C-alpha cells in the first residue's frame, strides 16, 4: 500500500494518508461512523456488508487482489522450509507460531483453515500466538517472540522481511483471499477516492501488487459462503 500510495502521489500530486489495521476492526469502526474515504479489506465479505448497509457509494466496489499465505521465519532460524514444509511447525525448536487473530483478521482465518486442511491444527494449536493483525504477527516472528509466522506473502516480499525465508502454503488448503476495496459514502473527496482506486486496479497498480506476490482477481473465483467462512 505504501508503494501504491507513493506511485499515485507522484503521478497525480494528490496526498494519500494510510491507516493500517485488521479488516474486521476497520469494518466495525466504519459501521460506527469512522471517517475514512476508502476501505481496503483483505476479506471481500466486509465491503459487501457495508454495501448492504448503504455505507458505500454505489458501484464503487473493486476486487483488487488475491492474497497468498506463507510460512515465514528469520534468516537465522534453523528450520528448513525447502525440506520440511508444513512439518517445520513440528520442529522441537518451534515453540511459538504467530498468526493474525482469526476473530477479525482474514489472514488469521485463512491460517487456521490451512492448518486444519493440513491436519496440523490440533498438533500446533497450543503454540499459536495472535497478532492484532497480520503485520503484528510478522513483528512477533521478526522480534523472536515466535519462531515461525503464517503470514501474507506480500509481507514476506516487503523490505523489512525480505531477508528472511519463506515457504508458500498450497492454495488448495485455504479459501481464496479475495481483497476488495470500496469508496465510503461519508467521503468528502469522492473524485479523488475514485481516482486512487482506479489507479490501484490499473496496469501500473496491478504491477506493484504482483511484485508483492498478489494475484489479479479473476471473474471465476469461488465466492461461496462455505469457502469464505471456514468456521
* Mean pLDDT, residues 129-145: 95
Residue 108 belongs to domain with CATH number = 3.40.190.10
pLDDT digits (tens, 9 = 90+) for 170-196: 999 999 999 999 999 999 999 999 999
Please name which of 24, 223, 9, 215 lies closest in space to residue 131, comparing C-alpha atoms: 24
- How many structural domains compose the chain? 2
Q: How many residues does the chain have?
A: 231
Q: By three-state DSSP, how is residue 127 classified?
A: helix
Q: Is the pLDDT of residue 57 over 90?
A: yes
Q: What pLDDT is stored for residue 228 in this prediction?
A: 32
Do both 72 and 37 map to the same domain? no
Alpha carbon separation from 117 to 7, 14, 86, 169 (Å, rounded): 38, 44, 11, 11
- Shared domain check, 136 and 221: no
Give phi and psi for 213, each to the nearest 5.
90, 5
Q: What's the CA gap between 68 and 161, in Å, rounded? A: 16
What would the pLDDT profile of 102-120 be if each residue is shown by its tens digit?
998 999 999 999 999 999 9
> What confidence tens digit (pLDDT) does each residue in 64-111 have?
999 999 999 999 999 999 999 999 999 999 999 999 999 989 999 999
- Domain match, 188 and 218 both: yes
Mean pLDDT of 120-139: 96
Q: Report pLDDT for 221.
A: 40
Domain boundary among 128, 151, 173: 173
pLDDT number for residue 104: 86
Q: Does residue 133 sit in the same domain as residue 184?
A: no
Is residue 160 domain-shared with residue 88, that is, in the same domain? yes
Under the banding of pLDDT at 50, 70 and 90, the label for residue 225 is very low
- Considering the domain architecture, whether residues 19 and 98 belong to the same structural domain is answered as no
Which of 132, 156, 173 lies at the terminal end of a domain, its last residue? 173
Alpha-carbon distance values, 127 to 65, 74, 143, 156 (Å): 30, 18, 17, 21
Q: Grid coordinates in use for 225?
A: 459462503
Name the domain boundary from 140, 156, 173: 173
Average of per-residue pLDDT values in the chain: 91
Q: What is the pLDDT of residues 18-42, one digit of tens each?
A: 999 889 999 999 999 999 999 999 9
Contacts for 194-199 with beta carbons within 8 Å, 24 or more apart? Answer: 194/57, 194/60, 195/12, 195/14, 196/8, 196/12, 196/14, 196/16, 196/38, 197/38, 197/60, 197/62, 197/64, 199/4, 199/7, 199/8, 199/11, 199/12
**Domain region containing 44:** 2-66+175-228
Residues 161 and 82 in one domain: yes
Quick one: DSSP state of residue 148? E
166 and 204 housed in the same domain = no
Distances (CA, A) of 191 to 5, 51, 198, 200, 224: 16, 19, 11, 14, 32
Sheet of 148-152, strands arranged across = 128-131, 97-100, 148-152, 69-73, 165-168
Q: What is the DSSP letter of 94?
A: -
Are 167 and 76 members of one domain?
Answer: yes
- Domain match, 75 and 61 both: no
Confidence category of residue 227, pLDDT binned at 50, 70, 90? very low
Q: Are residues 188 and 127 in the same domain?
A: no
Q: What is the pLDDT of residue 143?
A: 96
Q: Which cell goes with 223?
A: 465466492
| Claim to verify: residue 21 and residue 60 sit in the same structural domain | yes
Amino acid at each position: 500500500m505504501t508503494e501504491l500510495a507513493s506511485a499515485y502521489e507522484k503521478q497525480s500530486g494528490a496526498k494519500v494518508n494510510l491507516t493500517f489495521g485488521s479488516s474486521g476492526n476497520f469494518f466495525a469502526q466504519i459501521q460506527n461512523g469512522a471517517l475514512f474515504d476508502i476501505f481496503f479489506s483483505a476479506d471481500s465479505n466486509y465491503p459487501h456488508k457495508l454495501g448492504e448497509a448503504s455505507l458505500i457509494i454505489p458501484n464503487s466496489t473493486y476486487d483488487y487482489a488475491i492474497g497468498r499465505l506463507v510460512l515465514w521465519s528469520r534468516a537465522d532460524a534453523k528450520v528448513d522450509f525447502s525440506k520440511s514444509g508444513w512439518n517445520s511447525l513440528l520442529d522441537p525448536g518451534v515453540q511459538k507460531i504467530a498468526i493474525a487473530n482469526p476473530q477479525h483478521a482474514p489472514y488469521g482465518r485463512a491460517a487456521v483453515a490451512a492448518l486444519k486442511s493440513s491436519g496440523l491444527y490440533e498438533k500446533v494449536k497450543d503454540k499459536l500466538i495472535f497478532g492484532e493483525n497480520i503485520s503484528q504477527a510478522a513483528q512477533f516472528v521478526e522480534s523472536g517472540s515466535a519462531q515461525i509466522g503464517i503470514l501474507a506473502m506480500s509481507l514476506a516480499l516487503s523490505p523489512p522481511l525480505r531477508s528472511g525465508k519463506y515457504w508458500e502454503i498450497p492454495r488448495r488448503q485455504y479459501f481464496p483471499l479475495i481483497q476488495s476495496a470500496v469508496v465510503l459514502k461519508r467521503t468528502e473527496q469522492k473524485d479523488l477516492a475514485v481516482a486512487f482506486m482506479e489507479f490501484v486496479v490499473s496496469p501500473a497498480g496491478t504491477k506493484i501488487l504482483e511484485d508483492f506476490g498478489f494475484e489479479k482477481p479473476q471473474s471465476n473465483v469461488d465466492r461461496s459462503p462455505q469457502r469464505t467462512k471456514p468456521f
